[in-house]
A and B are shown apart, each in its own frame.
Chain A
Amino acid sequence: MILRKWLTVLLMITFMLCMSMGALSAADGAWDGNGPYVDEIIMPIITDSEARYLALLRGEIDIYPDVNRPSDIRSFAADPRIDLTMTPGLHMFYMGFNLQREPLDDPVLRRAMAHLVDRESLVFSVFDGYVFPLAEAVPESSPFYHRTAHVAEYDPQLAERLLNEAGYVRGEDGIRVDPRTSKPLRTLTLITPTYEESPTSAEVAVRLAQTFQNAGIPVAVVSLEFNTMVERLLRKDPVTGERDFDLFVSGWGLARYPLHLYTLFHSSFDVNGGNNVTGLRDAAYDAAAEKLWRPRTLEQAYEAAAEAQEIWAALQPYIPIYSLTYIDAFRSDRVTGYVEHVGYGAASNPLASPWTALNIRRVDQPEGRGGSIRWLLFDDPGTLNILASYTAFEDQVLGLIYDSLITANPETNEDYPWLATSWVIDTWTTESGEEGSVITYQLAEGVTWHDGVPFTAYDVKFTMDYLKEKKPPNLQAVWQDYSHSIVHDDLTVSVYYNTVSYWHTYATGGFLAEHIWSDVDDYESFQPWREPHPEVEGLTKLIGHGPFVFKEWVPGEYIRLVRNESYWRSQG
């Protein structure tokens, strides 16, 4: 078994090296962020996976973000014109337990089941090794990853021992006996999305059920249409307060900060419609999660995250199984300079990672400047209104148009000053006498909106005040604890929050240009890309301060962006 494990690890390392070699050589490890280097980005909208595959081979696109079909990955990997980058993602696929139902309320049973899961085998047999095995609540791509003492690795002998010692002995028919009832364990139902909707999830569920079955724990797989499954997991019976499932498989896309340890497992979210669907209620865990939710400093956040992960591993509300990788494909005969960002990929999440957009260039351009590149978009964005955006496609476009106050180092995921060159975190006393955070940002000089109007501290204040007034649901984390802002000068602003939390540092935004948005009363119906700019010809009201300027969107066909000639970081 040990030999097999070593072999799989070796295979994965070899595979990752092969996959990343091209990208590293193309990018030369550089991510100076002094671009953008290309004149234009055209984003063809292609909804069908076969057409997308053909489009990259035909050279109709240069960048194919988030390639997820193993057959496509194999084909692209074999094509000398194409480079693939494989970056660990901030993601978790897992099997969850209903902790409020017998016999799954027994942590020993959950732990033993976790030891039965051979993640490496699943990763290779179901995904051809294109995902990473995951055994913890936070993936290794996160800076908050903590190797816990209680991690349940694959160890069937240990599982057998744990079960036997706890009284879950096998009966004559091979099914284990529940020590609390002295009867054979009831058949547990494992809910999964259907094969049609999510073939890999369904396949993993079937294999897990088989594994548990072989170990004497009867499990039956029930496939449900995705919305039905979500409904089943989220809803609590109004009379009994119970959720109607035993086990389920699902996945979450995660953030750089492990706040999911709070929102998915704190007992306050064990409510009807809440995301704590496992029903985890543990006072010690709640205390650690609360510290993580409201840390005063980054150090406190790290400590709280580690503590929460330790308790979480012992409680085992989920069995983590794998973490997705972002596999991005590039036509290396045409473009170079793409940057892999741990947790976000090289081209999959421009909103969280600006590096590839800033660094990419055409190989056929003198000095690597100029030219046009084609960056695939899977579907039409909804609105291109940053306040009403709910889809990843929208974020892909908006990420090229807007900059954030703080970004992340692509190698370490640590904070990287951006529109805010520095910030100081302090506290203040709110009107109600509570303690709150106040963060003072120093903004970069020379930043302008796409229409040439300077970006100032007044825009930050306006953004926060506007959000507080309009309360867009998708940005609740930004406005819910916001109190007010004080502008000290054009480039210095203090933002006051009613609660103390280090995370407020990242909540602050300065993405609404006051001179455009101050006239917008109904933000939901505002279609900034459809309205011409009041003063500058050729622009619309969709203006940001990012490296690319919005030019054109033909719904269903393509989006066209051009280089921001006065981009504040651009050198030359």
Chain B
Amino acid sequence: MRTYFLRRLFVLLGSLFVIVTVNFVLFRLMPGSPVDTVISPDFTPEMKALLMERYGLNEPYYIQYGLYLKNLISLNFGRSFQTRLPVWDELLSRLPNTLLLLGSSFLIMVVTGVALGIFVASRRGSRWDTVLTGSAVFFGAMPGFFIALLLLLVFGYYIDVFPVHGTMSAPPPTGFWPRVYDRLLHLVLPVASIVVSGVGSWMMYTRNHLVTTLAADFIRTAQAKGLSKRRVLYGHALRSSLPPLVTLFFLSLPNIITGAVVIESIFSIQGIGRYLLQATLRQDYPAIEGAFFFIAVAVLLCNLLADFVYRLVDPRIEVR
């Protein structure tokens, strides 16, 4: 087990090194430079050179790369070219909004999706199955931004019940509970947008796995033993379908951190997804590098976690 863990850790660090190197090279290969995004007729070549010097971009690439690696190791991503704030601080300040938005969406999406999946799998071929499966395909095929805009229009304008931007009123109400209520109210539309566009996949995934499992021999044996339908479904079929669901859960977890670029932009939420988008558009190297490092670490750790949990939920898996 220890050897396995060390091996996995080694692979993880190797992957991380490759990712951060690609991260460095890729954005420097992008056309233009951060100073080209400052578009003004009065911006002279001398000013551009001065700005490049301030940003440390006049150094040769190998020196920039060395500095970049040194900074990453010490978790110092430097200052954003755009805001001049430390990138790490910026990422951390945006993390709560992203975690709240995507954490709650993810939780609702997984719980509802799995529950609906079990429901329709146990009623395969019924009207419920047709309606819910059809709906899942319909909403799954819709682009997320379209669903968000639709909800924005319907519940933000025609039925004027929910706020359409931000995570709080400007200024927020005073008092703890009014603030909590205000925050929840602002979460409704963005969370609904993510849930509506994603719940179908979880439902279909669960349903399809369960349907396959329900046709297996050991289920028939359980039924022949006279076990109740409920016991067969939850005690045998669902348990057998759990490992792939758990894996999917952990592999999807990094999404909570990486942010929902589109949803955060549409609902003006100060999250990591929006930060990443702005940094990329402005060729803000320290911000891009910091954000991608953050995401890379999250993805690799969740993969590692998925491996271990998979083993826990499925005793048939052995470490060799």
Asked if A227 and B30 make an inter-chain contact with CB atoms under 8 angstroms apart, the answer reads yes
Interfacial chain A residues near B47, Cβ < 8 Å:
473-474, 476
Who on chain B is nearest to A49 by CB? Answer: B266
Q: Which of B58-66, B81-89, B102-110, B296-304 touches A? A: B81-89
Asked if B274 and A42 make an inter-chain contact with CB atoms under 8 angstroms apart, the answer reads no
The complex places the Cα of A272 from the Cα of B46 at a distance, in Å, of 11
Asked if A51 and B44 make an inter-chain contact with CB atoms under 8 angstroms apart, the answer reads no
Can you list, as one digit per residue, whether each of B91-103 has a CB less than 8 Å from chain A (1) or not (0)?
Answer: 0011001000000
Closest chain-B Cβ to A121's Cβ sits at a distance in Å of 28
Interfacial chain B residues near A556, Cβ < 8 Å:
94, 97, 166-167, 268-270, 274
Who on chain A is nearest to B277 by CB? Answer: A47
Closest chain-A Cβ to B204's Cβ sits at a distance in Å of 30
Can you list, as one digit per residue, whether each of A244-259 has a CB less than 8 Å from chain B (1) or not (0)?
Answer: 0000000011110001
Interfacial chain A residues near B54, Cβ < 8 Å:
473, 524
Q: Is residue B267 within 8 Å, beta carbon to beta carbon, of the partner chain?
A: yes
Asked if B171 and A560 make an inter-chain contact with CB atoms under 8 angstroms apart, the answer reads yes
Report if A388-B84 is in contact (Cβ < 8 Å); known contacts: A230-B36, A255-B42, A274-B45.
yes
Asked if B270 and A382 make an inter-chain contact with CB atoms under 8 angstroms apart, the answer reads no
Report if A390-B82 is in contact (Cβ < 8 Å); known contacts: A225-B31, A264-B41.
yes
Asked if B41 and A47 make an inter-chain contact with CB atoms under 8 angstroms apart, the answer reads no
Q: Is residue B168 within 8 Å, beta carbon to beta carbon, of the partner chain?
A: yes
The complex places the Cα of A50 from the Cα of B189 at a distance, in Å, of 14
Interfacial chain A residues near B236, Cβ < 8 Å:
none
Q: Which of A54-62, A433-441, A493-501 touches B? A: A54-62
Asked if B41 and A275 make an inter-chain contact with CB atoms under 8 angstroms apart, the answer reads yes
The complex places the Cα of A527 from the Cα of B51 at a distance, in Å, of 19
Interfacial chain A residues near B46, Cβ < 8 Å:
476
Return the contact of A54 from the options B38, B79, B84, B152 (Cβ within 8 A): B152
Q: Is residue B164 within 8 Å, beta carbon to beta carbon, of the partner chain?
A: yes
The complex places the Cα of A339 from the Cα of B54 at a distance, in Å, of 39
Who on chain B is nearest to A261 by CB? Answer: B41
Who on chain A is nearest to B274 by CB? Answer: A47
Return the contact of B48 from the options A47, A273, A471, A560 (Cβ within 8 A): A273
Closest chain-B Cβ to A54's Cβ sits at a distance in Å of 5
Q: Is residue A385 within 8 Å, beta carbon to beta carbon, of the partner chain?
A: yes
Q: Which of B9-17, B153-161, B195-203, B305-313 touches A? A: B153-161
The complex places the Cα of A555 from the Cα of B91 at a distance, in Å, of 12
Interfacial chain A residues near B93, Cβ < 8 Å:
555
Q: Is residue B128 within 8 Å, beta carbon to beta carbon, of the partner chain?
A: no
Report if A273-B165 is in contact (Cβ < 8 Å); known contacts: A473-B50, A556-B270.
no
Interfacial chain A residues near B42, Cβ < 8 Å:
255, 259-260, 263, 477
Q: Is residue A311 within 8 Å, beta carbon to beta carbon, of the partner chain?
A: no
Return the contact of B85 from the options A230, A263, A274, A527 (Cβ within 8 A): A527
Interfacial chain B residues near A232, Cβ < 8 Å:
31
Interface size for B (C-beta < 8 A) is 50
Interface size for A (C-beta < 8 A) is 58
Can you list, as one digit per residue, whether each of B151-187 has a CB less than 8 Å from chain A (1) or not (0)?
Answer: 0110011001000111110110000000000000000
Closest chain-B Cβ to A188's Cβ sits at a distance in Å of 22
Asked if B83 and A382 make an inter-chain contact with CB atoms under 8 angstroms apart, the answer reads yes
Report if A227-B83 is in contact (Cβ < 8 Å); known contacts: A477-B42, A555-B270.
no
Interfacial chain B residues near A525, Cβ < 8 Å:
79, 84
Asked if B170 and A558 make an inter-chain contact with CB atoms under 8 angstroms apart, the answer reads yes
Asked if B270 and A557 make an inter-chain contact with CB atoms under 8 angstroms apart, the answer reads yes
Q: Is residue A46 within 8 Å, beta carbon to beta carbon, of the partner chain?
A: yes
Q: Is residue A212 within 8 Å, beta carbon to beta carbon, of the partner chain?
A: no
Closest chain-B Cβ to A347's Cβ sits at a distance in Å of 18
Interfacial chain B residues near A474, Cβ < 8 Å:
38, 47
Return the contact of B45 from the options A260, A273, A527, A560 (Cβ within 8 A): A273
Return the contact of B38 from the options A252, A390, A558 (Cβ within 8 A): A390
Asked if A44 and B165 make an inter-chain contact with CB atoms under 8 angstroms apart, the answer reads yes
Q: Is residue A554 within 8 Å, beta carbon to beta carbon, of the partner chain?
A: yes
Return the contact of A42 from the options B152, B170, B265, B268 (Cβ within 8 A): B170
Q: Is residue B37 within 8 Å, beta carbon to beta carbon, of the partner chain?
A: yes
Q: Is residue A363 within 8 Å, beta carbon to beta carbon, of the partner chain?
A: no
The complex places the Cα of A388 from the Cα of B54 at a distance, in Å, of 12
Who on chain A is nearest to B86 by CB? Answer: A525
Interfacial chain A residues near B33, Cβ < 8 Å:
231
Q: Is residue B149 within 8 Å, beta carbon to beta carbon, of the partner chain?
A: yes
Closest chain-A Cβ to B144's Cβ sits at a distance in Å of 13
Q: Is residue B43 within 8 Å, beta carbon to beta carbon, of the partner chain?
A: yes
Q: Is residue A126 within 8 Å, beta carbon to beta carbon, of the partner chain?
A: no
Q: Is residue A269 within 8 Å, beta carbon to beta carbon, of the partner chain?
A: yes
- 4 A-B pairs with the lowest CB-CB distances in the bound complex, closest first: A556-B270, A227-B32, A558-B170, A228-B31
Q: List 10 A-B contacts (CB under 8 A).
A: A51-B164, A55-B164, A227-B36, A230-B39, A231-B31, A231-B33, A272-B45, A273-B48, A374-B170, A473-B47
